[in-house]
Amino acid sequence: MNWIALRMLTGDKAKFLGIVLGLTFAAMLIAQQGSIFCGLMLRTCAQIEDITGADLWVMDPNVSFVDDVKPMIEANLYRVRGVEGVEWAVPLYKGQGRAKLTTWHWAEPRPKSPTSPRTKVQQEIIEQVVMLGLDDETLVGLPRKLWVGDFRDLWRPDAIIVDRVGLRKLFPGQGGESSTDPEFLKSFLGRELEMNDRRAVIVGICEASRTFQTFPVVYTTYSRAKLFIPQERKPMTFVLAKTKPNESPEEVAQKIEQATGLKAKTSKQFVWMTINYYLKFTGIPINFGITVVLGFLVGTAIAGQTFYNFTLENLKQFGALKAMGLSNMRIVGMILLQAAVTGLLGFGLGVGAAAWFGRATQGGELAFYTPWQLLPITGAAIVLICILASILCVRRVVVLEPAIVFRG
């Protein structure tokens, strides 16, 4: 009977498309909004993920997320180094500074005329930046990828490394944000910025994960970072530590907390601490949750209503099949098969559309990340929609008297 069920389903193409589109819409909305939500959450902790080499973060006990910078005295670095199980520990400065630079862009003639040439206009830019000051000797915390330049150039005087996407804000209108062409990116090397009345020279362009605040990320050494920001009494914001081999990072983190009174987290714990902060104290999850729930409800309404109407319109046919000896169980099987096929199609198309959307916006402003867990969640939502839609139909068909076929 399966082929009959499928032929019945696809026989009315408009209704079939209606059901599939309803489910596609729901799947796409759930997968797409879920991916944007995950992407945003990942951005909140992007800098934790970007720091490699160390497996422990030590911070002021009142820090609740990675951007919640609370300075510590530098003596804490030595206290952490003294804890059993710590192989090494280095300081990390993380804070915000202001970069001032003079740049230029091409201005279109006004009024527009093909004969009038474009003019080069100078402009002064003051831009907020996220500054990461890495340990002077080891440079622990360097970004994973350098497009142009050399990490060792950070030891040169006044050297800084800027993230590729940040070029867009520092040098607007010069195409730096979209290009990964090394030759083009090289044109930014050697350009100067002014930070806290001090000269800074770009020696490299790196790839850094986008941050939630979207500020350009500037890497320099720890000692130089202290110069690039207004003088503070307690400049150190984090201590990055590495546990000894055969030691558990979680246990060492606990030992650090007990010995120093500071907060110590593994990178993974710090990521979740940051995400939990955003989940708890911002409206982001509620906003996205509402959109996902709406997608689910709209999908249920469209697919459920169309599927139910489809069953109602076929009620006489189902009645005839029952009269001819088709059992309720087999009719339920037919309906479930129809629901499964439309669900599978809707899920595939919806997730595919969401993936296409993610790919089309890759590298742009939109935060988009689809963890594998989102696929079974979307699948479960679609299964739930199909079950809800089927329950009504199954009930209607099971209680149907086959004698209906003899009524006019």
Partner 1 sequence: MLDSSTAEREMVAGVLAEPGLEGEVAIRLRDVNKTFGTGEQTVLALRGVDWDIYRGQLTMLVGPSGCGKTTLLSVVAGILDCDRGGVVEVFGSDVARMRGGAKTRFRMDNIGFVFQQYNLLPALTAMENASVPLIIAGVPRPRALERAREVLTSLGMGNRLGSLPSQLSGGQQQRVAIARALVHEPRLIVCDEPTAALDHESGQAVMRLMRDAAVKSDRSVLVVSHDSRVFHFADRMARMDDGRIVQVRSQVGSAQEPEAGDVWEAAARA
Binding site for partner 1 (CB under 8 A): 1, 3-4, 7-8, 10-12, 316-317, 319-327, 330, 401-403, 405-408
How far is residue 105 CA from its own chain's centroid? 32
Complex with partner 1: residue 20 or 185, whichever CB lies closer: 20
Cis peptide before 111 (omega within 30 of 0): yes
Rounded distance, CA 357 to CA 310, Å?
31
Question: How far lies 408's CA from each of 156, 309, 325, 403, in Å?
Answer: 93, 20, 21, 11
CB of 346 to partner 1, least distance (A): 20
Complex with partner 1: residue 286 or 403, whichever CB lies closer: 403
Task: Confirm if 253 and 265 have CB atoms less than 8 A apart.
Answer: yes
Task: Confirm if 130 and 96 have CB atoms less than 8 A apart.
Answer: yes
Rounded distance, CA 215 to CA 127, Å?
8
Rounded distance, CA 217 to CA 207, Å?
10
DSSP 123-178: EEEEEEEEEEEE-TTT-TT--SEEEEE-GGGGGSTTEEEEETTTHHHHSTTSSTTT
Complex with partner 1: residue 372 or 406, whichever CB lies closer: 406
Hey, CA dihedral for 183, 185, 187, 189, is it positive or negative? negative
Complex with partner 1: residue 13 or 280, whichever CB lies closer: 13
Complex with partner 1: residue 94 or 322, whichever CB lies closer: 322
CB of 387 to partner 1, least distance (A): 24
Complex with partner 1: residue 4 or 75, whichever CB lies closer: 4
Give residue 141's region: left, alpha or beta (phi > 0; psi -120 to 50). Answer: left
Question: Tokens for 314?
Answer: 């076929």
Complex with partner 1: residue 248 or 327, whichever CB lies closer: 327
CB of 339 to partner 1, least distance (A): 17
CB of 318 to partner 1, least distance (A): 10
CB of 20 to partner 1, least distance (A): 16
Complex with partner 1: residue 126 or 324, whichever CB lies closer: 324
Complex with partner 1: residue 157 or 408, whichever CB lies closer: 408
Rounded distance, CA 146 to CA 155, Å?
16
Hey, CA dihedral for 61, 66, 71, 76, is it positive or negative? positive
CB of 408 to partner 1, least distance (A): 7
CB of 337 to partner 1, least distance (A): 14
Amino acid at 11: G
Complex with partner 1: residue 166 or 319, whichever CB lies closer: 319
Residue (of 76, 383, 368) closest to 209 by Cα position: 368
CB of 270 to partner 1, least distance (A): 58
Question: Tokens for 191?
Answer: 């350009």
CB of 357 to partner 1, least distance (A): 34
Task: Confirm if 27 and 376 have CB atoms less than 8 A apart.
Answer: no
Number of alpha carbons in the 13 Å side-chain half-sphere of residue 60:
19
CB of 334 to partner 1, least distance (A): 11
